[in-house]
């Protein structure tokens, strides 16, 4: 069987099993991007599955195991591939462990190239009774690549410009629009003809500004899951930026199946893995319902 045939057997399937074991069955360089959110350290017991990650005895043990699994993901990534890793922190006895950055630095040590850290701000985060620190309403999203030269479609995820809208906080606001020499704050960007001797609107990309590193996206719900699930909007951004049309998205911690659902809607192939049979069945039902339009 050829390498392409091996890959075809994996596509658009949910594989039930421990992530590392399943990944070792995959051929090299068969995936365009990985979009995933692994179980967080000591956060939740997922149906008592013995193979689940997140129940390690120490933070260091968790990092080592997660890095090992993601190293196998790096093997199956194409040279142009990338990883979007969504991960939250943990407090133990009132002390923040810094788990997201422990993992990110562990991946860097293994050869991953850290491209960006993104703050996922959750406007509907759960309230907290904590009185000794601010309430946490964010998680980290790390973008890492396999090689220096990698696929990234900035135009696919551009944001609306703010400069000439009601949300602008620039001195003079939109009054500078369409005016020559209308640059606010005399002397700023002096010598830039695009800004000082032309129209401000011509200095901006017609399809919007480059994506910023703070994403405000509400948590999502799915009626079969007893916990908040991966927001589709967050996954959509990652896939559009890092997976070419018709490409392959891998989620080695698929959970309720949101990554697969979004990949299919965006005309990409998916490969999903989860060690909890209940969640694999749940994800398959979600995909079937989506196809049936229910």
DSSP helix/strand/coil, 44: coil
CATH class of 3-155+215-292: alpha beta
Question: pLDDT by residue (tens digit) across 194-207?
Answer: 554 444 555 578 88
**What pLDDT score was predicted for residue 187?**
54
Task: Give the pLDDT of residue 1.
Answer: 37
Edge-to-edge, what's the strand order for the sheet holding 77-87? 13-16, 269-274, 248-251, 31-36, 77-87, 138-145, 113-121, 214-216
Q: Which two three-digit tokens encode residue 29?
A: 């360089």
Q: What percent of the chain has pLDDT over 90?
A: 67
Phi, psi values for residue 23, rounded to 5°: -60, -35
In 3D space, the residue among 250, 249, 244, 70 whose CA is nearest the CA of residue 144 turns out to be: 70
Distance, in Å, from the CA atom of 161 to the CA atom of 142, rounded to the nearest integer, reads: 24
Residue carrying structure tokens 């830039």: 192
Q: What is the pLDDT of residues 132-171, one digit of tens each?
A: 999 999 999 999 999 999 999 999 999 988 765 666 665 5
pLDDT over 60 (residue 293): no
Instruction: Give 43's pLDDT tier (boundaries 50, 70, 90).
Output: confident
Q: What is the pLDDT of residues 54-93, one digit of tens each?
A: 889 999 999 999 999 999 999 999 999 999 999 999 999 9
Query: Do the beta carbons of residue 141 and residue 133 sit within 8 Å?
Result: no
Q: What are the tokens at 228?
A: 């908040």
| d(C-alpha 255, C-alpha 267), whole Å | 21
Cβ count within 10 A of residue 264: 17
Tell me: pLDDT of 6 over 70: yes
Considering the chain, tell me which residue range(s) the CATH 3.40.50.150 domain(s) occupy.
3-155+215-292
* CA atoms of 187 and 184, how far apart (whole Å): 8
> How many alpha carbons fall within 13 Å on the CB side of residue 105?
6
- Kindly state the tokens that stand for 223: 């009626």
Query: What are the residues facing 229 on neighbouring strands?
Result: 220
C-alpha span between 239 and 33 (Å, rounded): 8
Residue of 80, 97, 64, 69 lying closest to 29 (CA atoms): 80
Q: What is the pLDDT of residue 185?
A: 47
Helices (H), 31-169: 59-76, 99-109
The predicted model scores a pTM of: 0.86
Average pLDDT, the chain: 86
Q: Is the pLDDT of residue 291 over 90?
A: no
pLDDT at 189: 56
Average pLDDT, integer, range 244-267 = 97
H helix runs in the chain, sequence order: 3-8, 19-23, 59-76, 99-109, 193-196, 232-242, 258-265, 277-292
């Amino acid at each position: 069987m050829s390498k392409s045939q091996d890959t075809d057997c994996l596509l658009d399937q949910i594989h039930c099993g421990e992530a590392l074991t399943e990944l070792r069955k995959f051929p090299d360089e068969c995936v365009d991007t990985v979009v995933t959110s692994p179980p967080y350290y000591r956060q939740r017991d997922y149906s008592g599955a013995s193979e689940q990650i997140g129940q390690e005895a120490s933070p260091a043990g968790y990092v080592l195991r997660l890095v090992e699994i993601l190293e196998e993901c790096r093997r199956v990534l194409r040279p142009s591939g990338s990883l979007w890793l969504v991960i939250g922190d943990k407090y133990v006895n009132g002390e923040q462990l810094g788990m997201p950055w422990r993992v990110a630095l562990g991946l860097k040590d293994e050869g991953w190239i850290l491209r960006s850290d993104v703050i996922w701000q959750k406007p509907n985060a759960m309230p907290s009774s904590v009185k000794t620190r601010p309430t946490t309403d964010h998680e980290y999203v790390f973008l890492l690549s396999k090689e220096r030269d990698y696929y990234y479609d900035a135009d696919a995820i551009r944001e609306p410009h703010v400069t000439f809208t009601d949300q602008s906080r620039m001195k003079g606001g939109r009054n500078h629009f369409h005016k020559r020499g209308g640059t606010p704050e005399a002397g700023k960007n002096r010598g830039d003809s695009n800004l000082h001797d032309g129209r401000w609107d011509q200095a901006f990309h017609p399809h919007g500004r480059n994506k910023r590193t703070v994403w405000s996206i509400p948590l999502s719900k799915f009626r079969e899951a007893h916990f908040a699930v991966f927001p589709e909007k967050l996954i959509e951004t990652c896939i559009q930026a890092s997976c070419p049309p018709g490409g392959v998205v891998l989620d080695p911690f698929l959970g309720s199946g949101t990554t697969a659902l979004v990949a299919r809607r965006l005309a990409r192939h998916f490969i999903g893995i989860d060690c909890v049979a209940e969640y694999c069945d749940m994800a398959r039902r979600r995909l079937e319902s989506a196809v049936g339009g229910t």
